[in-house]
Structure formats: C-alpha cells, structure tokens
C-alpha cells in the first residue's frame, strides 16, 4: 500500500511532466507546420524576385549580366536557366556560362564566350559551393517569358531543411534547452507545492481517521475537524453522526437488556414466590392461586412468542399468504369485536370507511397489525375519550388512520417508538401492560407488505397512527 501524500506527489510530478511535454510537442509542431508555411511563402516571393531580375536583365538585350551572380549569392540559392529546347545555358554553381544569353530574333541563342568581368566566382566561393552541395536541394521551375515570348525556363533550388542554416539550428537547440530547464524547474516547484498541498489536504483526513479509531476504541468523543473541502467536511460530519448513532444504540442496547431482564424477572419472581409458599405449606394451592401462576406462565410464553415472531420478521423469512383483501369488510368485522371492549371505558369508537377498498395482502397479518394499534389506542385513551378509524385511498396508496384522544407521546420518544421494549414515561409505562414490542411487530408486518407505518402525536392531545399500503 502507498500513502496518499506519495500518490498526490506522484500525480503532481506526472501532470507537470505531461504538461511540459505537451508544450514541447505543440511548440515543435507549430514550428514545423506554421514556420514551414511561412518559409515557403517567403521563398516563393524571393523566387519571383529572382525571376523578375533575370527577365529584366534579358529585356535589356545584352549578352552579359554582370550583377546576376552577385544577386544569386545574396539570395543563397542555385539557379539554372534552360532555353526552349531544354538545353542548360546557365548554372550558378559552374564557373561560366554554357552559352550566350542574348536575345535574338529566334529567342534565346547560344553563345561562345565565357562570363565576363564580375561574373566569375573566386576559389573561396567555389569551395563554399562544394561544401553546400552535400545539402539536399529542392528546385522549383518557372517559365521565362519576355513580352509574351517564351525564352525557356528558370529553375531555382533551395535547401530542403527548414533548419539548414547554422543560426536556425542554434535557435532550435536553444529552445530545446529552454524546455529542458523549464521541465527541471517545474519538477522542483511541483515537489514543493505538492508537499504543501498534501499536508494541508491530509491534515483533516488524519483528524477523521483519529475520530474513527476513537469510535473503534468505544470512545465516542469526537474531535472537531477544520476543513474548507466539501467532501472532507461531509466525511467528518458522517463520522460524527456515526459516533452519535453508536452512542445512542449503545444506550438503547443497555436499556433493552434491562427491559428484557425486567420482563422476564417479574413474572419469574412472582411464580417462584407463589410456588415456594405453596410448597412450604404457607399457602394452600387454591384454584385462584394456581390460575394466577398459569397467567404468569402464559405471559412469559406470549413474550417469547412475540420475540420469536419479531426475529423471523426482521430476518425477512416471513412468508405472506397474499390474496385479495376487502379492507372495508375486514375492518368492520374487527371493530365490531372491539365495540364492547371500548364501551367498558366509555370510549366512543367512530368509523369512516371508503367502500370496496381492496388490496393484495395477508389478511391474518393485516388483522394482527390492526389489533396491535387498536390495543394501544384502548390502553392510552382515558375514559370518555374518542377513537376514530378512517379508510380511504389517495394516489397509489390505501390509507388507514387511527386517531385517539389519549395521553400523546413526547417528541423525544417518537424517534424510538418502534424500537423493541422501548417505553416512554407517559405513553408506554409498564403499568399499562403489554410486552413492549407490539408496534415493532406491526411496523415489520406493514413493511413486509411494502407499506409505511408512521405515527404523529402531541402530548395531552392524542395520537394519529397511519398505515399506508400499496393499492396494487
């Protein structure tokens, strides 16, 4: 494994090298393409200048051109002149002319003399030409015409390489040296900057790492992370939320352990005291006392059954026996059985059902959900209170709402209302009875139907339980 700072340093250096190489390649490419076009256009203009010079000399109708060789040397080119018959009559690389260059009635005629004064080449010039002859030349041919009359053609040769001149080669070499120096300086700067950037970038990451390690050590005290980077700030916040969640879950776990111990200890202690009293002869085993012991056993059995069912639901092993269920009829039949129970506390039970509401679900499981919710409404609604059950459809949902005018649930308890064995001080006190996992089972059953179970409540005003089930 490699550390982030080394990786970032490598990335900085790689990006720097690539950038310099791209600049180097683009510069050389531009020099080759654009400079080549510039040189070609310039050479074409210079060729036209030479051609005009030759035509001007020929138009004077003289047999010698004293300034031609001097002019050609100034342009650093080779010139060859051919007559209309294709015969070479002038070559700037030779010592003299191959023929005359006068303009007669038949065009450009042949002569017999050599180049006159000013037209010859000294020994040094000949040596320079011999040295330059090793360079590859590119010739361009131009028609030679005077007053519309064709006299032959002129071929002008120039060096093929754009950097043939020593000055050009020196310039290219210097530019490459500059690029190399720039690369070295850029590498040095990139290393320095990468150290600064990685240090600033990694400092908050190390803080986040220390916070995670503290969570691993069950120390949920989180140190603040100072950063202006959004992603690191989000990571730090997620770590903080995780620590708070773990702390909260740890508190709930301890509370769950305490609640389970209490739920089991109370009936067992009662059973033990009653049975010991009857075994020691302190109490007679009357039917009433035996019935009480049986009730405690049933309570324990029910608690264990609920825990086992919840375990199955949370492991996604529950198998729903789905069929078409007419909710309006199922709720009506269920509430008819609760009328007598609610009347014992003089609680008014009101219903408002949309007719012929049908869903695909497990009727027994849906009935179990409603029994749990209605049982809680009965427990926590005072005498002469009201409980209202509504059934209606909205968009893609079938909704069952159960409203009561009970004690209500504090906001701090609402977040934990579906946790097993959780009991708030007001709404879920142990004196009200129950195993403490009824709503947990109800929520799991609703979610098994791809539905949503939610609760809204306000202390001393009542609670609204909403069951949302998909229509299809």
Same domain? For 261 and 367 the reply is no
In a domain, 202, yes or no: no
- Last residue of a domain, which of 167, 195, 222? 167
- Last residue of a domain, which of 167, 187, 204? 167
Same domain? For 450 and 379 the reply is yes
pLDDT one digit per residue (tens) for the chain, 472 residues: 677 777 777 887 888 888 888 888 887 787 777 877 887 888 888 888 888 888 887 776 554 555 677 777 777 788 888 988 889 888 888 744 555 444 443 444 443 333 333 333 333 443 444 444 445 788 899 998 888 888 899 999 887 776 666 766 787 788 778 878 888 888 888 888 888 888 877 888 888 888 888 877 766 677 788 877 788 888 888 888 888 888 877 776 776 677 677 667 767 887 888 888 888 888 888 888 888 888 878 877 877 777 777 777 766 666 788 899 999 899 999 998 888 888 889 999 999 999 889 999 999 889 989 988 998 899 889 999 999 999 999 989 999 999 999 888 888 888 888 876 666 543 444 445 555 678 888 888 899 899 999 999 988 889 999 999 998 6
Same domain? For 276 and 382 the reply is no
Same domain? For 239 and 382 the reply is no
Spatial separation of the C-alpha atoms in residues 290 and 314, rounded to whole Å: 36
Spatial separation of the C-alpha atoms in residues 323 and 365, rounded to whole Å: 12
> pTM for the complete prediction?
0.47
In a domain, 180, yes or no: no
* Pair 12, 191: CB distance under 8 Å: yes
In a domain, 287, yes or no: yes
- Number of structural domains (the chain) is 3
Q: What is the CATH number of the domain that holds 357?
A: 3.30.565.10
Q: What is the CATH number of the domain that holds 298?
A: 1.10.287.130
Spatial separation of the C-alpha atoms in residues 146 and 131, rounded to whole Å: 35
Question: Among 346, 312, 379, 363, which residue's Cα sits nearest to residue 469?
Answer: 363
Same domain? For 332 and 461 the reply is yes
In a domain, 278, yes or no: yes
In a domain, 185, yes or no: no
Same domain? For 39 and 149 the reply is yes
Domain range for 152 is 4-167
Query: In whole angstroms, what separates CA 206 from the centre of its chain?
Result: 23
- Last residue of a domain, which of 314, 339, 362? 314
Which residues have a Cβ under 8 Å from the Cβ of 426 and sit 6 or more positions away? 407, 408, 409, 410, 413, 459
Structure tokens belonging to residue 221: 């005290």
Same domain? For 331 and 275 the reply is no
């Amino acid at each position: 494994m490699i550390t982030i700072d080394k990786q970032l340093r490598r990335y900085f250096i790689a990006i720097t090298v690539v950038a310099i190489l791209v600049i180097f390649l683009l510069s050389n490419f531009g020099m080759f393409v654009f400079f080549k076009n510039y040189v070609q256009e310039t050479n074409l203009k210079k060729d036209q200048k030479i051609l005009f010079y030759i035509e001007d000399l020929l138009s004077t109708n003289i047999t010698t051109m004293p300034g031609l060789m001097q002019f050609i040397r100034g342009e650093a080119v080779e010139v060859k002149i051919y007559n209309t018959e294709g015969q070479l009559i002038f070559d700037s690389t030779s010592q003299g002319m191959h023929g005359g260059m006068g303009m007669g009635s038949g065009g450009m005629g042949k002569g017999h003399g050599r180049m006159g004064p000013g037209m010859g080449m000294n020994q040094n010039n000949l040596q320079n030409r011999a040295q330059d002859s090793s360079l590859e030349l590119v010739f361009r041919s131009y028609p030679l015409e005077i007053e519309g009359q064709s006299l032959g053609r002129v071929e002008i040769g120039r060096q093929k390489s754009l950097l043939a001149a020593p000055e050009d080669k020196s310039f290219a070499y210097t530019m490459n040296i500059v690029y190399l120096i720039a690369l070295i300086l850029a590498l040095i700067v990139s290393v320095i900057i990468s150290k600064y950037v990685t240090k600033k970038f990694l400092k908050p990451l190390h803080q986040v790492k220390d916070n995670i390690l503290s969570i691993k050590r069950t120390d949920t005290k989180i140190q603040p992370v100072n950063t202006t980077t959004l992603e690191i700030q989000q990571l730090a916040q997620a770590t903080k939320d995780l620590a708070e969640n773990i702390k909260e879950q740890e508190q709930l776990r301890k509370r769950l352990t305490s609640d389970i111990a209490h739920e089991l200890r109370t009936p067992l202690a009662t059973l033990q005291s009653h049975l010991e009293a009857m075994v020691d002869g302190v109490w007679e085993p009357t039917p009433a006392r035996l019935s009480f012991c049986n009730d405690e056993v049933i309570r324990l059995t029910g608690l264990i059954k609920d825990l086992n069912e919840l375990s199955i639901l949370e492991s996604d092993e529950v198998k729903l026996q789905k069929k078409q269920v007419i909710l309006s009829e199922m709720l009506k039949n269920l509430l008819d059985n609760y009328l007598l129970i609610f009347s014992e506390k003089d609680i008014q039970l009101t219903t408002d059902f949309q007719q012929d509401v049908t869903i695909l679900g497990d009727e027994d499981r849906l009935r179990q959900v409603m029994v749990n919710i209605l049982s809680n409404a009965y427990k926590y609604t005072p005498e002469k209170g009201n409980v209202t059950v509504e059934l209606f459809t909205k968009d893609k949902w079938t909704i069952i709402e159960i409203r009561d005018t009970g004690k209500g649930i504090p906001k701090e308890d609402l977040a934990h209302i579906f946790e097993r064995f959780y009991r708030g001080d007001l709404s879920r006190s142990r004196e009200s009875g129950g195993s403490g996992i009824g709503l947990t089972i109800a929520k799991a059953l609703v979610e098994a139907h791809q539905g949503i179970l939610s609760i809204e409540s306000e202390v001393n005003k009542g609670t609204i339980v909403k069951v949302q089930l998909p229509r299809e």
